[in-house]
Chain A
Amino acid sequence: MLAVLAGVVILHLTEIIILIISTSVNAWRTNNKASFDLWYTCSTLNAGYHCEGSSDADWLQAVQALMVLATLFCMLSFIFFLCQLFTLVKGGRFFFTAVFQVLSSLFVMSGAIIYTVMSPDEKDGSNSYGYAFVLAWLAFPLTLISGLIYIILRKKE
């Protein structure tokens, strides 16, 4: 029925929102003094809240690129899904959509793994991972499942 279609679309939109939030929000790693993310290091000093750019480390830039690419590919796959919904032949599969979705999940996975491995640890262990990091890890299985659904889904004759 339309329920499958609606479910797939809602899942896809949820993933896009999760990826956007995860890429942009400043909560990948938190401290009692400061919060770090891919782009800025924001700290609440006595003078208030101010942010400065993150370090130029090459791994951080790679994570930035991968997260941006994952978001981009997820949005592109949604657009392709809407296109293919109206232009696919009978019995066809949503290959384009599935390919982009799976690529997006791979990028998110790579980005999250690189960040997990390379993020520096404070000696006293006061660093804890923020919710944006959790969202990034959450986005990976969701996009993978969504991509597999698109591979299986087909327009029946």
Chain B
Amino acid sequence: MEEEEWNNKGGPGAGPGSGVWLGINGYPAPRAPRPHSLHSSVSPALLSSLILLVSAPALAARRGRQTEAMLTLLVLTAAVLLGAAPRSDAIVIYTGWERHALVGSDVRLSCSFFSWRWTSEDVTFSWSYRPDGARDSISIFHYTGGAPYVDNKGPFRERLEFVGNPARRDGSILIRNLDFNDNGTFTCDAKNPPDIVGRPSSVRLLVFEKVPIQAGVITGAIIGVVLGLLILVVAIYYLMRFLVARRVFNLSVSKHGKKGKGKEGSQQRQASVLVDPSKQKAAAASEKKKQESRREKK
């Protein structure tokens, strides 16, 4: 069946990356008509829609001819961006940037892709490995025709497992029982016919004896906690002052007729100082008096 055909073509370097793309029957697959350019320009469309979304409520709030002019300008810009954007039908492959793992543990290398087409039945995933310091890479995993083919001769024999879901565009692999020799770069190449133009993405694997703390994590944590506590304390302080002032204000209103107790009276005076809007006058007077007092101190 097709499996035997594909197995013969499964050696290193003879994967789907080389040569003409062949369909299931062995004939060149027919090219489907390309979608409208509206679909192809992701980022300019997103950018212009974001701008419109953000500015529309702001502009709608104001009135006048100026706002109409600005609105039409925005719409024109968006249309220009959408229309003149370059077509990008390419497939985009996502892997991590770096993976850190401990010796003897398992690591899951994830690979996913984005494509404007529906996920076809002929989707393929291909992983290759290049050791640190080596120049050549060898192929260690290939998924095609609905079946995964793992490495059975290379450095990862009997340690590699396919844990992805091609229907959900996930081509992740699991490597068990890591060793220091597994340090290197893993490259994932995915193809979603007829969307095959794309750049493979690489993830670096670093195997440690002890996973180090990343730079700046502790620094940021300490600074964040201290500043957070500071803001909390200041907020509580002002809250207490506000509550005390309000309670005293309520008390003084309720005991309007009586001559209040001495403590309450002084609190009332304090409350009036706190709540009094004419603090500037008092501040200016106290500033003058402070300078005099300094003169006296001297």
Contact = CB atoms under 8 A, between A and B. Distances in A.
Given A4-B297, A61-B215, A90-B289, A69 B222 contact: yes
Interface string A1-30: 111110000000000000000000000000
Contacts of B222: 61-62, 65-66, 69
A49 interface: no
Nearest to B270: A89
Contact of B296 (A3, A53, A58, A156): A156
Contacts of A53: 215
Contacts of A61: 213, 215-219, 222
A interface residue count range (under 10 / 10 to 19 / 20 to 34 / 35 or more): 20 to 34
Interface in A19-43: none
A3 B295 CA distance: 9
A66 B297 CA distance: 37
Contacts of B227: 69, 72
The interface residues of chain B, by DSSP majority, are classed as: helix
A26 to B, nearest CB: 16
A99 B145 CA distance: 71
A112 interface: no
Interface residues of B, number: 29
A65 B293 CA distance: 40
Interface string A50-88: 000100101001101110110010000000000001111
Interface in B174-222: 212-222
Contacts of A88: 283, 286
A72 B218 CA distance: 17
A89 B227 CA distance: 28
B223 interface: yes
B298 interface: yes
21 contacts: A1-B291, A1-B294, A1-B298, A4-B294, A5-B294, A56-B215, A61-B213, A61-B215, A65-B220, A65-B222, A65-B223, A65-B226, A72-B227, A85-B287, A87-B283, A90-B289, A155-B286, A155-B289, A155-B290, A156-B294, A156-B296
Interface of A: 1-5, 53, 56, 58, 61-62, 64-66, 68-69, 72, 85-90, 155-157
Given A65-B219, A86-B287, 6 more contacts: A2-B291, A3-B298, A65-B218, A65-B222, A89-B282, A89-B286
